[in-house]
A = this chain, B = another copy of it.
């Protein structure tokens, strides 16, 4: 059993600078959704989609924007950024796993590798030649760290992460299980009817505070490095090709793919399943919506989309069939229009 901590509402209000309306002595023992909360728990309202759940919540308190405060049936903590404030409160209830410093006896560490004494190296971990693990870093069970890698202070590889070769991870990064960083980029030259492998001599560089999702892959560069700047957040099953460069604070959702040598700016939001072809450039503050394909450089901030809307298959089929002749249709309309205007 794990003991849950308790905080009064007054403590939370003070610690996070939130305006309290209600009984400050209320004891908060946990966090929950509006719909799932019980007495003693605190919830939040950030997405208007869940406003209806506020009215019936059993939570003892809710973190919300000022405009929604009056509708709450309980105590409130008012925040101009309710989601962020709630995240800070929730962190109080997120107990750390029992990580202990030191190298597990089953780990296999090359004699030329350097592991800080305060780092934690889990069972079955392998660390290759000339690699380094910084102070407070955690390398979880089953991770394989190849040659010439570096893991910055306080970074955390959860479990079964692979850093293949020449991967430098900044400080305070979090890498989830199954992620593979530094595998060969997909470099091939066709040569007399056979593929010739192009050596991948670069590495991968991650800035500080990056997060890399489960089973995500980030290839190392062919000549230069593949680079993710600080605070880049990548979800699960994302593919980042060789020599890609991603600007600070950009977030990429699950199953997106970025092809080789693409450059993505800062503060971009790439939604799930989106694709970005190689050798193009996307400027800062661009949003790409789910499953859209970016085939050209984008030079202006804003939101971009492709695809067609979902329909019942029988309706869709009729429309899709017409797409095959859309150019013809447009030409016919132009002809009709011209005829009309010359009549």
Q: Which residues of A contact B (CB under 8 A)?
A: 31-33, 36, 47, 49, 81, 83-84, 86-88, 90-91, 93-94, 97-98, 104, 106, 108, 122-124, 126, 128-129, 140-142, 144, 146-147, 158-160, 162, 164-165, 174, 176-178, 180, 183-184, 186-191, 193-201, 209, 211, 213-215, 217, 219, 223-224, 231, 233, 235-237, 239, 241, 249, 251, 253-255, 257, 259, 272-273, 275, 277, 279, 287-296, 302-327, 329-330, 332-333, 336-337, 339-340
Given A124-B124, A144-B142, A197-B211, also A188-B295 (CB < 8 A)? no
Contact present for B272 and A275 (CB under 8 Å): yes
CB contacts (< 8 Å) of A329 on chain B: these are: 322, 329-330, 333
Contact present for A201 and B255 (CB under 8 Å): no
CB contacts (< 8 Å) of A306 on chain B: these are: 307-311, 316
Given A164-B177, A255-B239, also A158-B183 (CB < 8 A)? yes
Contact present for A84 and B189 (CB under 8 Å): yes
CB contacts (< 8 Å) of A273 on chain B: these are: 257, 275, 293
Known: A304-B311, A322-B330, A323-B326. 14 other contacts (CB 8 A): A93-B199, A93-B201, A126-B141, A140-B144, A142-B160, A158-B183, A162-B177, A215-B237, A241-B254, A259-B272, A291-B291, A306-B308, A311-B324, A319-B323
CA distance A302 to B213 in the complex (A): 34
CA distance A219 to B32 in the complex (A): 17
Contact present for B295 and A304 (CB under 8 Å): no
CB contacts (< 8 Å) of A326 on chain B: these are: 318-319, 322-323, 326
Min CB distance A28 to B, Å, is 14
Contact present for A231 and B319 (CB under 8 Å): no
CA distance A237 to B217 in the complex (A): 8
Contact present for A144 and B141 (CB under 8 Å): yes
Contact present for B108 and A126 (CB under 8 Å): no
Give A334's nearest chain B residue, CB to CB. Answer: B332
List 26 A-B pairs, Cβ < 8 Å: A87-B189, A87-B197, A90-B201, A97-B128, A104-B108, A106-B108, A123-B126, A144-B177, A158-B164, A164-B177, A176-B183, A178-B217, A183-B236, A186-B235, A194-B209, A237-B239, A272-B277, A275-B290, A275-B291, A289-B313, A290-B295, A292-B310, A322-B327, A323-B323, A329-B330, A336-B337
CA distance A209 to B194 in the complex (A): 10
CA distance A153 to B254 in the complex (A): 32
Min CB distance A240 to B, Å, is 9
Contact present for A177 and B177 (CB under 8 Å): no
Contact present for B160 and A162 (CB under 8 Å): yes
Contact present for B323 and A332 (CB under 8 Å): no
Checking B31, B81, B165, B293 against A291 with a beta-carbon cut-off of 8 angstroms, the contacting residue is: B293
Checking B81, B188, B302, B332 against A251 with a beta-carbon cut-off of 8 angstroms, the contacting residue is: B188
CB contacts (< 8 Å) of A184 on chain B: these are: 174, 176
Contact present for B309 and A305 (CB under 8 Å): no
Min CB distance A43 to B, Å, is 8
CA distance A319 to B309 in the complex (A): 10
4 closest Cβ pairs, A-B complex: A303-B313, A94-B199, A84-B189, A84-B191
CA distance A104 to B31 in the complex (A): 40
